[in-house]
Structure 1
Amino acid sequence: MHELLDSTLLMLSGKIGRRIKVVKEYDRTLPGIPAYPAELNQVWTNLVDNAVSAMNSAGGDGTLTVRTARDHDRLLVEFRDTGVGIPAEDRGRIFDPFFTTKPVGEGTGLGLDISWRIVVNKHHGTIQVESEPGDTRFQVLLPLTAVEEESA
């Protein structure tokens, strides 16, 4: 998991720039998990890109903290930024397709919808958000072991 996160951060380093500090708080004792790595990289890319946009909207400086931890029988991956936050009235809609808080021409409103589908449908996990100005946290929880598919 940490290699996936590091590769995403490296790929987006140009976009992150020098004014945003990246803090990695990785639990190195976590086991590997069954996952689709390329699809999780898409999730991490969407979450980091949104965090960078939020911090740019708040003046361009900030801190992006990427944290991993064990949460009972799940792996937690958290992205925390110091950007403008997500207004309370928008939080219930951010995972809806085509909903965006970005200015026209800057976002399609598909990133979080795609991320939700990858986490929930493909990985049997959850994705949630807590937000206020200066502290937004996207938390992805993934099962540590393979989930049995129900047969039809």
Structure 2
Amino acid sequence: MLSGKLGPHIEVVRRYDRTLPSLPGYPAELNQVWTNLIDNAVAAMTKEGGGGTLTVRTERDGELALVEFGDTGPGVPPEIRERIFDPFFTTKPVGSGTGLGLDISRRIVVDKHHGTLRLESVPGDTRFQVRLPLSADTEPGGPERPEESA
């Protein structure tokens, strides 16, 4: 998933908890979340022609799985953090972003998978943390049963 998105100046660090079970959920939609978070991290680090380190980490957090995407870019300024998940909000130049990636990601994680999506950011260390339940929690009469995802 990462190969086509990274330039020569991005180092990828993978820290996977191999003891995590498969997540119940909608794999295609979760892949969209991962892609959005990776795209944003790469864009932040290469904004000024630079590079950096993208860290992808998974671990168990009680009855939740934590999937964290970290980057060494300039960080998200405090004045825009409250709006970062709003629809049509973007910091990218006109024509480069729709401002829907984080909004859609939040909806997939929170509304569809009953998880959380959180941002922590200081210059040089920005982390988007996705926490998802390790057990399926679909409501009666809701959408079809989630598929197992790796």
> What is the TM-score normalised by the length of structure 2?
0.90
Aligned pairs for 1:1-152 (under 5 A) are 8-9=1-2, 13-149=3-139
Distance in 1 between residues matched to 2:103 and 2:19, nearest whole Å: 31
Task: Give the strand-richer structure, 1 or 2.
Answer: 2
Aligned residues: 142
- Gap regions ≥5 residues in structure 1: 1-7
Further displaced range: 103-112 or 57-66 = 57-66
Q: Is the 8 A contact 1:58 1:83 kept in 2?
A: no
Name the aligned partner's letter for residue 82 of structure 2: G
User: In 2, Cα distance between the equivalents of 1:54 and 1:63?
Assistant: 11
> Highest relative contact order (Cα 8 Å, sep 6+), 1 or 2?
2
What amino acid is aligned across from residue 143 of structure 1 in structure 2?
P
RMSD (Å) for aligned C-alpha atoms: 1.4
The residue type equivalent to 1:35 in the other structure is G
Question: How far did residue 44 of structure 1 move?
Answer: 0.4
Stretches (4+) displaced over 2 A = none
Question: Deviation of residue 76 (structure 1)?
Answer: 0.2
Q: Which amino acid aligns with 1:22?
A: V
1:105, CA displacement in angstroms?
1.5
Range 48-57 or range 100-109, more displaced = 100-109
Give 1:59 deviation, angstroms.
3.8
The one-letter amino acid of 1:108's match is T
- Paired AA for residue 27 in structure 1: D
Residue pair 1:58, 1:84 contacting (<8 A) in 2 also:
no
Q: Secondary structure at the match of 2:85?
A: coil
Structure 1 position 84, deviation (Å): 1.3
Q: Deviations over 1:92-134 (max 9, x none)?
A: 1111000011111111100000000100111010000001111
TM-score (norm 1): 0.89
Question: Identity over aligned residues, as a percent?
Answer: 71
The structure in which a higher percent of residues are helix is 1
Structure 2, gaps ≥5 residues long: 143-150
